[in-house]
Amino acid sequence: MKRRDFIKKSIVGGIAAGTALTFNKYSGVFAGNGFTPESNFDLIAIKGGEPGIMFDKAIESLGGMSSFISKNQTVVVKPNIGWDCVPEKAANTNPALVGRIIEHCFNAGAKEVYVFDNTCNKWNKCYENSGIEKAVKDAGGKIVPAHTENYYHEVNITQGKKLTKAKVHELILESDVFINVPILKDHSSTDLTIAMKNLMGIVWDRMYWHKNDLHQCIADFSTFIKPDLNIIDAYRVMKENGPRGVSVDDVVIYKTQIISTDIVAADAAATKIFGMEPEDIAYINIADEMKIGTKNLENLSINRINL
C-alpha cells in the first residue's frame, strides 16, 4: 500500500543484528569505514565532506533515491525552515543539502518536489534568509506556503496517548513520498530537536503539544506520520541557545549526516554526535517504548563512511 493511501485510510478509519555505530561521546566524531553500495543497511552515518557530496555517497549506499521514489511520484521534502536566520547560525537545515536532495528526487523520476515548513518567524523571511528558497528553486522544486490554517486537515492519531488529533498540511496527506530533513541542534524545551520533532512543522496547532506533555505528543504523532526517509543535517550544529539562531559562536562544524528510514534510530544516532545518549532525550525513549522504531543502535546494520 502506498504511503498516501495508508494515510488516507487512516484518516477515514482512524488509524537484524549488525555493526554498532561508534562515536566519540564528547567530540561527536565516529570511527570506521565501510562504504558498500550493495549492502542492505538500516542507517548511514557519514562525515567529513560538504553537504551535497556526503548525501551523494550516503544515498548511493542505500541503493540510490530510486529505492524510495518511482517515476511520476510527488514528493515532499520537509527541512527545518523555522527561523529568519542565515545558514551560518545553524537554526535551519543546510540549503545545499536541501538542493541536492531535490536533484536526486528528480533524477529518480519525481514528477514534482514540494518544500515547506510551518515557520516560527515570518514565513517569507525564513524561506528567503535561510537560503532554502533559492536552493529549492535552483534545483527545480516548488517551495510552498504553510502559514494559514486552510492548508491543514484534521486527522485522528489513534495510537496517541496525549495527542489524538492533529491538523496536518495537505501536501503531506496527498504526496506519494515524504522526506524528512531536520537539522540537529540544541533546544530549550526538549534538549535536542532532530527528526521526530521536525514533524511539528507539518501541523497547525503546535501550542497544544507544548501544553500537553511535549515529549509524549512528539512520540504520539510519529505513530501516524512515518517519513519514507529521514536525513539529519549535522554539518553545522548549534550547541547552545537553541532553537533560535542567536550567534555563530554557538555553532560547531561537524560535517556529518545521519540517514535512515527508522526515525527513532536516526534520532538516537544523532544524539551521539551532539555528545549525548538516546536515553537523555525523553521523546526518543517514549518512541522506542511505543515501538515506533528502535533506539538500540547495536541491533542495526550501520554503514559508517569517513570522507
pTM of the model: 0.90
What is the tens place of the pLDDT at every residue in 91-138? 999 999 999 999 999 999 999 999 999 999 999 999 999 999 999 999
Q: Exposed (0-12), middle (13-18) or buried (19+): which is 35, by Cβ within 10 Å? A: middle
pLDDT of residue 138: 98
DSSP state at residue 21: P
What is the tens place of the pLDDT at every residue in 263-287? 999 999 999 999 999 999 999 999 9
What is the tens place of the pLDDT at every residue in 68-102? 999 999 999 999 999 999 999 999 999 999 999 99
C-alpha triplet 287, 292, 298: angle, nearest 5°:
85
The alpha carbon torsion through 280, 284, 288, 289 (nearest 10 deg) reads: 70
Euclidean distance between CA atoms 76 and 136, whole angstroms: 12
Which residue type sits at 287? A
Percentage of the chain exceeding pLDDT 90: 87
Confidence band (pLDDT; 50, 70, 90) for 25?
very low
Among 278, 279, 183, which Cα is nearest to 236's?
183
C-beta atoms surrounding 13 within 10 Å: 9
What is the tens place of the pLDDT at every residue in 124-177? 999 999 999 999 999 999 999 999 999 999 999 999 999 999 999 999 999 999
pLDDT of residue 17: 30
The CATH architecture one would assign to domain 3-306 is: 3-Layer(aba) Sandwich (3.40)
| Residue 25 CA: distances (Å) to CA of 28, 252, 276 | 6, 15, 7
Among 79, 48, 110, which Cα is nearest to 273's?
48
Average pLDDT of the segment spanning 250-257: 98
The more confident residue out of 194 and 5 is 194
The SS3 assignment for 302 reads strand
Q: Which residues contact 131 (CB under 8 A, 6 or more apart)?
A: 86, 87, 95
What is the tens place of the pLDDT at every residue in 183-196? 999 999 999 999 99
Domain boundaries, the chain: 3-306
Q: Helix crossing, 214-222 with 282-289: angle to 10°? A: 40
pLDDT of residue 191: 97
Q: For 29, list phi and psi in degrees, rounded to 5.
A: -85, 135
In the numeric block, which cell numbers belong to residue 35?
562504504
pLDDT of residue 210: 95
What is the tens place of the pLDDT at every residue in 194-246? 999 999 999 999 999 999 999 999 999 999 999 999 999 999 999 999 999 99
Average pLDDT of the segment spanning 11-34: 37
Euclidean distance between CA atoms 35 and 182, whole angstroms: 24
